[in-house]
Amino acid sequence: MSYVGRFAPSPTGPLHFGSLLAALASYLDARANNGTWLLRIEDLDPPRESPEVKEQFPEILEAYGLLWDGELTLQSERSDLYHSVLQTLIEQRHAYRCNCSRKQIIERCDNLVYDRYCYSHPPQQDASCAIRVKSEDSLISFRDIIQGPHAYNLNSTGDFVVFRRDQLFAYQLAVIVDDEQQGVTHIVRGSDLLDETARQIHLQQLLGYPTPAYAHIPVATNLEGQKLSKQTFAEPLRADNPAPVLIRALHFLNQNPPAELHNQQRDDILAWAVENWDIRNIPQTLSKPLLMEQ
């Protein structure tokens, strides 16, 4: 089986050092395995996105020498595909329409675990509805390449939304449809998505898709221990001096770049990193918070 990896950022904020760690780790793992590496922009949520940020993604990745294979894909252009998968889930009674408001759920449901009310009381056809997938009372287990064995009972979080009440597709649905459709075999991404993985595997099983291998890298935090993100004002990645940032990222991924590499150019650094890549060196968590000193 040939290796297909991908980087799948959402344009809800500029790429930052934490995004670079995910991009670099997935790129190096693909290249070290003679694999294909895809770039997919997950632009499913226009109200939270910025068109400028979306345009910058390919430019920044090119500046860091992280060149993807084939055409870049945009989820915003793939709605027909998501619609047809949604229909399949509904026809097979794995998914159902739900028009409960957040207020109703807070009032009615323990720990916000949805009580499946709309499954037995279908809303009127003209109501604006979310679509939920039924969870199951069984353990979903998987072995993450970095984080080790995980087991999760989806009933603890309940039936989840794959199509939102504001008529936007949810990340959970689009991500598994695209990974399957693009033949992705290995997913290397931040461990903030580890908890989403069981729901994604559940969907893959319902739809008869293969489950890719997962490797969740530790999430970079600021000095307060908060995940780097737009909300925590993470410094956007700059395109002008990638070499030292790549070296720092390799240290964070515990790849032990030698001192001589520190004076090298971007492409030499990447070539060394592909040659010496060892995913087993990546720690499960980062021992020190990341100070953004750019």
Contact (CB, 8 A) for 222 and 290:
yes
Q: Which of 17, 29, 42, 255 binds ligand GLU (CB under 6 A)?
A: 42
- Residue with Cβ nearer ligand GLU (81 or 193): 193
Residue among 89 and 175 whose Cβ is closer to ligand GLU: 175
CB of 203 to ligand GLU, least distance (A): 13
Rank residues 118 and 219 by Cβ distance to ligand GLU and give the closer one.
Answer: 219
Inter-residue contact 136 to 118 (CB < 8 Å):
no
Q: What is d(CA 106, CA 116) in angstroms, rounded to the nearest whole number?
A: 14
Closest CA to 45 of 232, 175, 148: 175
Burial class (CB in 10 A: 0-12, 13-18, 19+), 168: middle
What would the two tokens of residue 143 be?
A: 């072995």
Tell me if 134 contacts ligand GLU by CB under 6 A: no
Residue from 4, 5, 10, 98 binding ligand GLU (CB under 6 A)? 10
Q: Does 175 bind ligand GLU (CB under 6 A)?
A: yes
To the nearest whole angstrom, how small is the minimum distance from the Cβ of residue 75 to ligand GLU?
9
Gap between the Cα atoms of 245 and 32, Å rounded: 20
3-state secondary structure (DSSP) of residue 139: strand
Taking CB under 6 A as the rule, does residue 199 contact ligand GLU? no
Q: Tokens standing for 156?
A: 């603890």
- Comparing CB distances to ligand GLU, the nearer of 89 and 170 is 170
Residue from 90, 193, 261, 292 that binds ligand GLU (CB under 6 A)?
193
Dihedral of the alpha carbons of 209, 76, 56, 16, in degrees to the nearest 10: -50
How far apart are CB 50 and ligand GLU at their closest, in Å? 14
**Under 8 Å between Cβ of 112 and 98:** no
* Distance, CA of 91 to CA of 85 (rounded, Å): 10
53 binds ligand GLU, rule: CB under 6 A: no
Of the ranges 5-13, 49-57, 99-107, 153-161, which one interacts with ligand GLU (CB under 6 A)? 5-13
Site residues, ligand GLU (CB under 6 A): 8-10, 42, 175, 189, 193
